[in-house]
């Protein structure tokens, strides 16, 4: 088993939203193969902005046996995602792991939230998970192996004032994850969600010091998390050590939602 796609070697992964923050840390963590020698032959990341960041990430990763591919595509668009994922499947000869990470925020209290703010966040955060999963699932079913990891959020579990669109999208991901886990378990495919707490990325850099101090008061570990904290859990879920885990939501939140 060790030398097959199902074993610990030569895995092929797609990561959405790979250029920054948590997605970037996931690409780097998987490429390093540091989780108990789970080695990747190819990692394709999808991003929708910042070509320089994509190039920079590809240049930054320097492990001889892993090829990093970048694809500019809007994960919220069904048509673009089908075309992009088909191109990736052709290039890589299939895919073993899908990490649905792309996400945005457009925060506002409901009274001030526009229909567009709501629709954009649902399309990028939730519909993208449907788009990408639908595009890879046939290939995973035919090889009877796959790992799908969806990046949700603690606010999908507990809600957050000013984030009704974002919380709904992240709670939706959890429902989608559990339904997919039930549909795909008999085909050798596991589907899990990771729910990060507040992690230091561009997404949270919009918060001011006062907001961060207030947030940290609810975190038993009294600090924000790092993108690498999330990436390491994703790497574990990609490994054979996680073979019997499906339909779960793993919070990486410094104890916030215990
Ligand atoms: N940072 C946090 O505190 C936090 C907490 C919980 C969950 N999350 C979730 O983790 C994920 C990553 O967040 P982050 O903090 O790294 O965000 P980020 O803003 O730093 O990065 C987001 C990434 O998503 C990509 N992206 C956005 N829209 C896209 C689209 N339509 N198509 C393709 N790619 C797109 C961007 O190019 C970027 O690479 C998101 O799903 C986010 O909701 C973040």
Q: What is the CATH number of domain 11-197+226-249?
A: 3.40.50.720
**pLDDT, tens digit (0-9, with 9 covering 90-100), for 47-80:** 999 999 999 999 999 998 999 999 999 999 999 9
List pocket residues of ligand 1, CB cut-off 6 Å.
Answer: 16-23, 46-49, 74-76, 101-104, 124-125, 151, 153, 196, 198-199, 201-204
Phi/psi at 95 (5° precision): -150, 145
* Percent of the chain whose pLDDT exceeds 70: 97
214-225 pLDDT, tens per residue?
A: 889 999 999 999
Q: Where are the domains of the chain?
A: 11-197+226-249
2 C-alpha vs ligand 1 centroid, how far in Å? 33
pLDDT score, position 203: 87
* 228 alpha carbon, distance to own chain's centre: 13
**pTM for the whole structure:** 0.97
pLDDT < 50 regions, the chain: 1-4
Q: Which of 30, 31, 42 is nearest to 5 (CA)?
A: 42
């Amino acid at each position: 088993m060790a030398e097959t796609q199902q074993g610990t070697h030569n895995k092929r992964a797609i990561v959405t939203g790979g250029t920054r923050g948590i997605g970037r840390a996931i690409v780097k963590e998987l490429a390093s193969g540091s989780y108990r020698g789970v080695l990747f032959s190819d990692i394709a990341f999808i991003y929708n902005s910042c070509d320089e960041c994509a190039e920079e990430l590809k240049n930054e990763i320097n492990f001889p046996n892993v090829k990093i591919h970048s694809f500019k595509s809007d994960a919220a668009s069904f048509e673009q995602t089908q075309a992009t994922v088909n191109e990736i499947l052709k290039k890589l000869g299939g895919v073993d792991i899908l990490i649905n990470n792309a996400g945005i925020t457009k925060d506002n209290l409901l009274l001030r939230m526009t229909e567009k703010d709501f629709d954009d966040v649902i399309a990028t955060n939730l519909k993208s998970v449907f788009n990408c999963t639908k595009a890879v699932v046939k290939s995973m079913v035919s090889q009877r192996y796959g790992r799908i990891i969806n990046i949700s959020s603690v606010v999908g579990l507990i809600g957050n004032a000013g984030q009704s669109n974002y919380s709904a999208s992240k709670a939706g991901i959890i429902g989608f994850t559990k339904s997919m886990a039930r549909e795909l378990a008999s085909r050798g495919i596991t589907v899990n969600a990771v729910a990060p707490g507040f992690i230091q990325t561009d997404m949270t850099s919009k918060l001011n010091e006062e907001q961060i101090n207030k947030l940290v008061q609810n975190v038993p570990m009294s600090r924000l998390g790092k993108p690498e904290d999330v990436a390491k859990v994703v790497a574990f879920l990609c490994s054979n050590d996680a073979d019997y885990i499906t339909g779960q939501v793993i919070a990486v939140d410094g104890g916030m939602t215990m």
